[in-house]
């Protein structure tokens, strides 16, 4: 019998205990994987390669202040800028204000929008139809699927902070990975409906020639408007999105403390199980030693068993986490929130590593005690 098969057989000797331990570790690792995935999408992911070539310029004071549209031509003249469009977050309500019916709507300039958002794929004839219809809208394919919209359908949005209720016709449906679940319509529509809005934009979305241009172009834009009545703040699309996360509060500390609690909890569970199972085998260890197994042999047998158990739990947990995220991002609640959330291979690797480490450390002390136990005492032990 090889060492490995000895370890495996021992793992299954008390099936119920092993399964319960695996489930307990599995649930904890499910949570850990979920947290790491969220962390990754917030702080590590740089987004799609195309989004790295875009910068967002907003009012320095707050997103709730508008910028004058003449900034557009000034920014366009800067070196490194490829295209720029004005964007205004409309924040309208569709049907009712239940969260599952909420999605983002932006007013923009359709004639140039695709030059900036070129990672959106839309049939040429549909794009043309959208550009021609001032009351036309372009929507995400996922959003269209969710609400059952087809080309030519009419929808009404209810304005919240902008006093207009746009009646729009769906003219184009685009695909994008990950789907942004948003709707785009003409700035001109808003300007006609709200006289005081004319000549203003919520923020500017600018495309630069290459990702390396981002810092220099951002600095140049902010420098240009520094002493104007409407100073700007320009940052990469990723940093812009992250600023919304930062508003939620100290998310980093929140996620880290949950992760720490989870890891500590599985360490306890696993150590508990190993202590129980090793104590129950005191006499057996003495027999092994009598047969000639060295202390380090015995130690490695037990540690191996603990690592095998927690790795099995880890695999279960990671698989469950991947499933949960899949389910969530395709559920109606997840639409718009879970942009591009997936459990990546590095995340899985880290989770497995944590599982293995937990198994290793949990078995160390009880296994060490067992390994250096006196044979005669062990044989006398009544267990």
Partner 1 sequence: MAIPIRYNIRNLKLRKGLTIMTSLGIALTVTTAIFLMALLAGLDRAFVTSGDPLNVLVMRKGSQAELSGGFDASLFPTLKTLPGIAKDRNGEPMASGEWVVVIVLPRKDGTGEVNVTVRGMMPDGLELRPQVKIVEGRWFTPGQREVVVSESIKKRFAHANIGDTLQFGKGPWTVVGVFDAGGSAYESEIWGDVNQMASDFDRQGGFASAYLRATDPVSADALKHRVSDDQRLKLEGVLETEYYAKQTSSGAPIKYIGWVVAIIMAIGSSFAAMNTMYAAVAYRSREIATLRVIGFSRPSILTSFVFESVLLSLLGAAVGIVLMLPFNGMTTGTSNSVTFSEIVFSLRMTPQVVMVAVVFAIIMGLFGGMAPAWHAARRDILAALRD
Interacting residues of 96 by C-beta distance below 8 A, sequence separation 6+: none
**Considering the rule CB under 8 A, would residue 275 count as an interface residue with partner 1?**
yes
- Which residue, 174 or 203, is less far from partner 1 as judged by CB? 203
For the bound state, the minimum distance from the C-beta of residue 229 to partner 1, rounded and expressed in Å, comes to 8
- Which residue, 34 or 208, is less far from partner 1 as judged by CB? 34
The CA-based angle 219-225-226, given to 5 degrees, is 80
Look at the alpha carbons of 293, 299, 302, 303 in this order and tell me if their dihedral is positive or negative.
negative
**Considering the rule CB under 8 A, would residue 21 count as an interface residue with partner 1?**
yes
Number of residues that bind partner 1 (CB under 8 A): 46
CB atoms within 10 A of CB 335: 21
Q: Which residues on neighbouring strands pair with residue 155, listed in sequence order?
A: 168
Element (H, E) at 235: strand 232-236
For the bound state, the minimum distance from the C-beta of residue 336 to partner 1, rounded and expressed in Å, comes to 13
3-state secondary structure of 319: helix
Single out the residue of 17, 40, 134, 146 in contact with partner 1 (rule: CB under 8 A).
17
For the bound state, the minimum distance from the C-beta of residue 273 to partner 1, rounded and expressed in Å, comes to 6
Binding part of the chain for partner 1, among 21-29, 46-54, 80-88, 342-350 by CB under 8 A, reads 21-29
Q: Tell me the C-alpha distance between 242 and 244, whole Å.
A: 5
Cα radius of gyration (the chain): 29
Q: Identify whether the C-beta of residue 232 lies closer than 8 Å to the C-beta of residue 225.
A: yes
For the bound state, the minimum distance from the C-beta of residue 335 to partner 1, rounded and expressed in Å, comes to 14
For the bound state, the minimum distance from the C-beta of residue 202 to partner 1, rounded and expressed in Å, comes to 12
Buried-state track 154-192, b at ≥16 Cβ within 10 A, e below 16: ebebebeebebebebbbbbbbebeebbbbbbbbbebbbe
- Which residue, 187 or 270, is less far from partner 1 as judged by CB? 270
What phi and psi, each to the nearest 5 degrees, are found at residue 32?
-60, -45
Pattern of binders to partner 1 over 24-63, x per CB under 8 A? xxxxx-xx--x-------------------------xxxx
Q: Tell me the C-alpha distance between 342 and 285, whole Å.
A: 45
- Which residue, 220 or 263, is less far from partner 1 as judged by CB? 263
- Which residue, 83 or 315, is less far from partner 1 as judged by CB? 315
For the bound state, the minimum distance from the C-beta of residue 200 to partner 1, rounded and expressed in Å, comes to 12
Parallel, antiparallel or unpaired: strands 200-201 and 67-68:
antiparallel
For the bound state, the minimum distance from the C-beta of residue 62 to partner 1, rounded and expressed in Å, comes to 4
In the region spanning residues 310 to 329, those forming contacts with partner 1, defined by CB under 8 A, are none
In the region spanning residues 172 to 201, those forming contacts with partner 1, defined by CB under 8 A, are none
In the region spanning residues 214 to 273, those forming contacts with partner 1, defined by CB under 8 A, are 229, 233, 243-244, 246-250, 257-258, 261-262, 264-266, 268-269, 271-273
Q: Tell me the C-alpha distance between 340 and 317, whole Å.
A: 20
For the bound state, the minimum distance from the C-beta of residue 292 to partner 1, rounded and expressed in Å, comes to 31
Binding part of the chain for partner 1, among 22-30, 202-210, 288-296, 351-359 by CB under 8 A, reads 22-30
**Considering the rule CB under 8 A, would residue 365 count as an interface residue with partner 1?**
no
Residue 75 tokens read as 């920014």
For the bound state, the minimum distance from the C-beta of residue 309 to partner 1, rounded and expressed in Å, comes to 12
Look at the alpha carbons of 228, 234, 240, 245 in this order and tell me if their dihedral is positive or negative.
negative
- Which residue, 213 or 235, is less far from partner 1 as judged by CB? 235
Parallel, antiparallel or unpaired: strands 54-59 and 232-236:
antiparallel
Single out the residue of 46, 160, 297, 331 in contact with partner 1 (rule: CB under 8 A).
160
Q: Tell me the C-alpha distance between 377 and 114, whole Å.
A: 80
Q: Tell me the C-alpha distance between 159 and 277, whole Å.
A: 64
- Which residue, 165 or 210, is less far from partner 1 as judged by CB? 165
For the bound state, the minimum distance from the C-beta of residue 333 to partner 1, rounded and expressed in Å, comes to 8
Question: Which spans of this chain sit near partner 1 (rule: CB under 8 A)?
Answer: 16-17, 20-21, 23-28, 30-31, 34, 60-64, 99, 159-161, 163, 229, 233, 243-244, 246-250, 257-258, 261-262, 264-266, 268-269, 271-273, 275-276
């Amino acid at each position: 019998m090889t060492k490995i098969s000895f370890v495996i057989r021992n793992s299954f000797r008390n099936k119920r205990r092993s399964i319960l331990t695996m489930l307990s570790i599995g649930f904890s690792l499910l949570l850990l994987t979920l947290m790491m995935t969220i962390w990754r999408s917030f702080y590590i992911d740089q987004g799609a390669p195309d989004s790295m070539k875009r910068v967002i310029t907003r009012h320095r004071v707050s997103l709730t202040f508008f910028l004058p549209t003449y900034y557009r031509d000034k920014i366009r003249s800067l070196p490194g800028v490829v295209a720029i469009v004005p964007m205004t977050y409309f924040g309208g309500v569709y049907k009712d204000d239940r969260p599952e019916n909420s999605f983002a709507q932006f007013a923009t300039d359709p004639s140039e929008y695709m030059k900036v958002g070129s990672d959106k794929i839309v049939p040429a004839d549909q794009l043309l139809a959208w550009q021609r219809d001032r009351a036309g809208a372009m929507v995400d394919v996922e959003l269209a699927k969710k609400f059952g919209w087809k080309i030519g359908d009419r929808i009404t949005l209810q304005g919240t902070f902008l006093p207009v209720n746009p009646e729009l016709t769906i003219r184009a449906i685009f695909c994008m990975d990950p789907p942004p679940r948003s709707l785009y319509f003409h700035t001109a529509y808003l300007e006609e409906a709200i006289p005081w809005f004319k000549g203003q934009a919520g923020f500017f979305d600018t495309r630069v020639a290459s990702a390396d241009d981002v810092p220099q172009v951002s600095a140049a834009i902010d420098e240009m408007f520094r002493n104007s009545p409407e100073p700007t703040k320009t940052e990469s699309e990723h940093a812009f999105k992250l600023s919304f996360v930062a508003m939620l509060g100290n998310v980093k500390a929140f996620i880290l403390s949950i992760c720490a609690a989870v890891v500590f909890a599985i360490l306890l569970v696993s150590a508990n199980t190993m202590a129980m199972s090793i104590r129950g085998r005191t006499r057996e260890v003495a027999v092994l030693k009598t047969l000639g197994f060295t202390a380090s042999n015995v130690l490695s047998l037990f540690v191996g068993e603990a690592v095998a158990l927690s790795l099995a739990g880890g695999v279960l947990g990671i698989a469950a986490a991947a499933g949960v995220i899949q389910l969530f991002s395709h559920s109606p609640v997840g639409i718009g929130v879970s942009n591009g959330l997936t459990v990546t291979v590095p995340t899985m690797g880290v989770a497995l590593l944590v599982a293995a480490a937990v198994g290793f450390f949990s078995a160390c002390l009880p296994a060490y005690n067992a390994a250096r136990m006196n044979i005669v005492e062990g044989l006398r032990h009544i267990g």
